[in-house]
Structure 1
Amino acid sequence: MTDYYIPEAPDTRTWVIHPEIKNDQDRREPVAALAEAVALAEALPGLDIVGSEVVRLPKRHPGMLFGTGKIEELKQRLKSNETELVLIDGHLSPVQQRNLEKEWKVKILDRTGLILEIFGDRAATREGVLQVEMAALNYQRGRLVRAWTHLERQRGGLGFVGGPGETQIEADRRAIDEQLVRLRRQLDKVVKTRALHRASRAKVPFPIVALVGYTNAGKSTLFNRLTGAEVMAKDMLFATLDPTMRRVVLPTGDEVILSDTVGFISDLPTELVAAFRATLEEVLDADLVLHVRDIGHPQTAEQAREVESILSSLGLPEDTPQIEVWNKIDALEPEGREASLERAARTENVSAVSAITGEGMDALLTEVSRALGGAKHAEDLVVPFAAGRKRAWLFEQGLVEADVPTEDGHRMTVRWSATQKARFDRL
């Protein structure tokens, strides 16, 4: 049998544009915003970034976003660089997208479409895949782009960028709606199963500690360092999408469940905030949130505000304790590193660490134990004979100092933390 060599398709030649619009309320620092947009593009396989630029605009033009002169100037630049795909780092209306594609004779993708494509390429769990597909369908419903045939493909990703079927321009809306109904039914089943798993975990008497942070802040590297797991950890935006949970033993001997979650990003598409709400519910159920920051990033303060804003919009209870984890101190210059360490030491609920070298890990775990009510106190209680499971759990946790049977049940003296007491009450 003869083996035929099938050459791989060349990467799509891609140009990245960040439109900086004067007096835009959501305006971000343009150079940093463009760098992030390029990093987003690099996170998607199959793209060859041949150029990138900031385009300054006095206002949005409703038909094409850019003015006539800028349209022509960019057209020549794209043509001379043989560009096949243009990524606009911002929101495009369906009309603007169609008009730009017609004018420039290239495929156009806005920020929402790109992030959806990355999520589609990375989603691993059944729930994640379903949520991405639903978000993509809702996004594409009003657009004259490939709208739903990607659901039949075998490889990851959503196919906005290329692949079979890309010549199909107009999707049948009724087919999209029928597919959405089918996906909702499937997702309802998955969400119910997840809720059952979450309910069963709630009975497990271990606190949940959730890692959150801006994408590429180093959450997965930190997760791997603390748990010894092998979660995908790359210097890449959105390296982790689906939450992963592992057990960690604190210096006090207490155990916690550590949860790694999807990274947040500025201008996160509303479609995805809604679509991934169930995934992010892991954070809402957490006993403690570790907000991981890349402390050396030039926009670290802005990124932190974005994370806090998204947590607030998700409905994170205000009384959920949080610790800021200033990560990547190993990447700082010696002077900046010392300053960050000193500032972290003076600031409450802040730990400076390096997930790469392991520096600061013991101090972080001690801080986690403290935040979870690590200080233990003795307490006398009577456990009824019928509550055998509760009594067994107290012994399993090594909390029992005395156990005397009485007519009403077991009179016990236990030494525990506030968190362990709360877990006991939930059993």
Structure 2
Amino acid sequence: MREQHLVSDDTPERSVLARLILPDTPAPEDPLEELHGLATTSGTQVVGELIQRRASAEHGTYLGKGKVEELRLLVEKTKADVVIFDNELTPGQIRNLEKATGAKVLDRTELILDIFAAGARTYESRLAVELAQLEYTLPRLKRMWTHLSRQAMGVGMRGPGEKQLEVDRRLAQKRIHDLKQELGKVESRRERQVASRKEAPTVSLVGYTNAGKSTLMNALTEAGVQAADKLFATLDTRTRRWYLPHWGTVLLSDTVGFIRDLPHSLVASFKSTLEETRQADLLLHVADASNANVFDQISAVYKVLSELEIEEKDTLLVLNKIDAIKSPAMLNRVLDRYPNAIPVSAKSVKGLEMLTEAVGEALGREFLDLDIDVDPGDGKLLAYLAAKGEIVSQHFGADVVNVRVKMPVAAMGPARKSAISIRPAGTGTFAPVEPPVDVPAEPPVDTPATDVA
């Protein structure tokens, strides 16, 4: 049995990075740049890199036989403690690679989970990370726990218990069950808390990790939240008041950053933390315009939003860090693809006035305050209105349910098809939906301002 690599002092673990690039996998100019950032964030010292391009992965060791030997020699030469793959490996492949190299082996998912475990501060985020780690490690039978103690054992070894090499399945499954129950309670509380905020519209910052969301929030609200130049500096949602000239106060939330191939278990576990995003009136998608892989990062964020089932929410794309762009042609390349994007620099506060105006216009343009009459038996439409809009009030009659709701224009399709009638809020009776009601697509921008305290 291979000896454990225990970290008993402040000396960082030495890591070798590895990646297999398959023919159908797009690779940036520097294929290991992002993994290098993740490894550094986890606290390791990167001492070597290895890349292989291959038609298919080797079943037993992922890398080809020759590359495995090259990896072993690199580990030996650099005295590395851990090999970190920018791929997802099977339990068998990890065991075979550990046996071949004599070093601990992590895949991308386990590394991300480890970073989240190290950065979780609130009770809610710690529960979410622990659940994601257990669901990932349960089928892998490696280096995990039967006791719930925490002791530093280096990257990939943080989290709920690290004393034993074998997983006690019964204890793990019981703990997973308990965590899901507790997180369910937390999610319900968070959902009620977010839904109860009626005093102002809500805007949520989303984006790729290290795109500058926290810095932007500080620039807009003087929030003073942590803003560090590293991946996943923010794991917990923070909400601050933001005053928009000619509009009023809105609530601005900063959330955990996304990343490509974000573990599904982590997305599911963080549902409560992302509740602010799910119920926001407007999303500000912050992208690092200075990053060479900005297009891939934007696509990765939209993929995660789709997993959260909020990809249809009204969104403004904000191109941050324009002060770090070396060539104007690089910014123009992004603007050519996303002509409605708003270029800003949160660091130098350039472009923030334009962003503020755009947010005010979007909040006024995209939402309708309506009275909608629904058949009491149409539970599907009632559930849709609650999911897609903000229910202000409901009145149940014998033949009709009157719902006052603030709805995004883009979500009005099902309501127009199924509702008995639709009318602007507070205008009394209205004709049936057939023929279709001409609901104005763009109410005056200054109308909602009167509703903001």
Q: What's the TM-score, normalizing by structure 1?
A: 0.80
Give the deviation of 1:148 after TM superposition.
2.9
* In structure 2, distance between residues paired with 1:234 and 1:352: 21
Mean alpha-carbon deviation: is it higher for 131-140 or for 68-77? Answer: 68-77
* Cα 1:159–1:36 shift into 2, 3 Å: closer
354-363 or 67-76, which deviates more: 67-76
1:192 pairs, out of 161, 179, 188, with 188
Q: Distance in 1 between matches of 2:125 and 2:98?
A: 30
Deviations 1:111-157 (A, max 9, x none): 000000001111222111101100100100011322235842277x9
Which residue pairs with 1:258 in the alignment? 252
User: Aligned match of 1:48 in 29, 41, 45?
Assistant: 45
SS in 2 for 1:55: strand
In 2, distance between residues paired with 1:163 and 1:295?
Answer: 34
Summarize the alignment of residues 28-427 of structure 1 with structure 2, pairs less than 5 Å apart: 28-45=26-43, 47-148=44-145, 151-153=148-150, 160-161=156-157, 168-201=164-197, 204-316=198-310, 318=312, 320-333=313-326, 335-336=328-329, 339=332, 347-348=339-340, 350-373=341-364, 417-419=446-448
Partners of 2:336 and 2:294 lie apart in 1 by: 15
Q: How far did 1:421 drift?
A: 7.4
Give the unaligned 5+ runs of structure 1.
1-6, 377-414
Task: Answer whether contact 1:98 1:144 (CA < 8 A) is retained.
Answer: no
Label 1:364 to 1:341 Cα distance change in 2 as closer, same or farther (>3 A): farther
* Kept in 2: contact 1:133–1:151 (CA 8 A): no
Shift, 1:209, TM fit: 0.5
Q: Is the 8 A contact 1:151 1:158 kept in 2?
A: no
The one-character-per-residue Cα deviations of 1:27-71 (angstroms, maximum 9, x if unpaired) are 1315443100111111112x1111123222221111111122221
Instruction: Output the CA distance in 2 between the equivalents of 1:262 and 1:162.
Output: 20
CA contact (8 A) 1:16 1:88 kept: yes
Instruction: Please give the alpha-carbon distance, in whole angstroms, between the structure 2 residues aligned to 1:158 and 1:277.
Output: 28
* Secondary structure at 2:18 match in 1: strand
Deviation by residue 1:273-296 (Cα, 9 ceiling, x = unmatched) = 211222223212111111111111
**8 Å CA contact retained: 1:328, 1:354:** yes
The offset of 1:165, in angstroms, is 7.4
Distance 1:165 1:128 in 2: 17
Match of 2:241, SS state, is: strand
Aligned residue for 1:185, secondary structure, equals: helix
Query: What residue ranges of structure 2 are gaps of 5+ in the alignment?
Result: 1-7, 368-443
Query: Which is worse superposed, 328-337 or 73-82?
Result: 328-337
Letter in 2 for 1:101: E
Distance of 1:162 and 1:71 partners within structure 2: 27
CA-to-partner distance for each residue in 1:371-398, whole Å, 9 max, x for gaps?
A: 111799xxxxxxxxxxxxxxxxxxxxxx
Hey, what's the Cα distance between the residues in 2 that align with 1:163 and 1:282?
26
State the match for 2:375 in structure 1: none
- For residues 159 and 275 of structure 2, the distance between their equivalents in structure 1, rounded to whole angstroms, comes to 34
TM-score by length of 2: 0.75
> How many percent identity over aligned positions?
41
- The two structures, once aligned, show a CA RMSD in angstroms of 2.9
Q: 1:341 to 1:69 in 2, by over 3 A?
A: closer
SS at match of 1:326: strand
Conserved? CA contact 1:374–1:417, under 8 Å: no
Change in CA separation of 1:52 and 1:167 when aligned onto 2, cut-off 3 Å: farther
Q: For 2:148 and 2:250, how far apart are their aligned partners in 1?
A: 38
What amino acid is aligned across from residue 19 of structure 1 in structure 2? L
The residue type equivalent to 2:324 in the other structure is A
Deviation sequence 1:193-247 (CA, Å, 0-9, x none): 212211222xx22111011111111111101111111211111111111111000
Deviation at 1:168, TM superposition (A): 2.2
The verdict on how the C-alpha distance between 1:314 and 1:13 changes in structure 2, with shifts beyond 3 A counting, is: same
Amino acid at match of 1:103: A
In 1, distance between residues paired with 2:327 and 2:232?
29
Q: Which moved more, 1:166-175 or 1:176-185?
A: 166-175
Once the two structures are overlaid, the 10-residue window that deviates more, 270-279 or 112-121, is: 270-279
2: CA distance, partners of 1:149 / 1:249: 50
Query: Are the aligned partners of 2:13 and 2:81 in contact in 1 as well (CA < 8 Å)?
Result: yes
Q: What residue identity is the alignment partner of 1:35?
A: E
> For residues 165-211 of structure 1, what are the alpha-carbon distances to aligned partners after superposition, in whole Å with 9 as ceiling and x for unaligned?
7562111111111111222222222222212211222xx22111011
1:325/1:351 contact within 8 Å kept: yes
Q: Residues 50 and 71 of structure 2 are in contact (CA less than 8 Å); yes or no, is this contact kept in structure 1?
A: no
Cα deviation code 1:67-124 (max 9, x no counterpart): 2222112111111111110001110001111111111111011000000000111122
Aligned to 1:373, what secondary structure does the other structure show? helix
In 2, the alpha carbon distance for the partners of 1:321 and 1:14 equals 42
